[in-house]
Amino acid sequence: MRLLDRLVPGRRPRRTLLLGGARSGKSSLAERLLADAADVTYVATAGHRDGDAEWAERVELHRERRPADWRTVETCELPPLLGRNGGPLLVDCLALWLTDAMDRVGAWEEERWYGGGERELRDRTAELVRALATSPRRVVAVSNEVGSGVVPATASGRRFRDELGRLNAAVADVCDDVRLVVAGRALRLSDR
């Protein structure tokens, strides 16, 4: 147990990372962790998918669960939000943030990836991790855990899996509280 935790019983972590598979309950847990907090901003990194009714239904279910007084911001520009003073942030999710970042650097194309995209992605990831580590806000971040499943059949799929594993590890390294959510149950992986 950290000294600060012993000195301030009941202290809430400033940075929490919730990892899990699809439909594991990680987003619901993130919402419960901030249910009593004031001035919460829900940061949705999913974006829009025109013509995808199933995706729209998923987004709507997330919206319906949130308290009415929470503000929603749809963006993948996380460092500026993390750098501002304010109420807690719930970031859902880092895997979708990574997808956007990989799109921006052309990571899906071999030539672009090895021609500078890999370096650009690592720079974006490092910027995000620095912003999270120094954020004055309480942050609960959600991310998918994809490293335990089947090895993707494509090089780009394996690249995404590997980069998400690196991102999750780097984020976990700057979080006070990291939990793995499976079947709606959370297993605490670390307390710093």
Q: How far is the CA of 58 from the CAs of 52, 104, 116, in angstroms?
A: 10, 24, 35
> Dihedral, CA atoms, 39, 45, 51, 53, nearest 10 degrees?
-60
Phi and psi of 175, rounded to 5°?
A: -100, 145
Phi and psi of 189, rounded to 5°?
A: -90, -30
Q: What is the DSSP letter of 51?
A: T
48 catalytic residue (yes or no): no
State how far Cα 171 lies from the chain centre: 9
How far apart are the C-alpha atoms of 62 and 49, rounded to whole Å? 15
Looking only at Cα atoms, what is the longest distance across the chain?
Answer: 53
Task: Choose, from 12, 58, 62, 130, the residue flagged as catalytic.
Answer: 62
The residues that are catalytic are 62
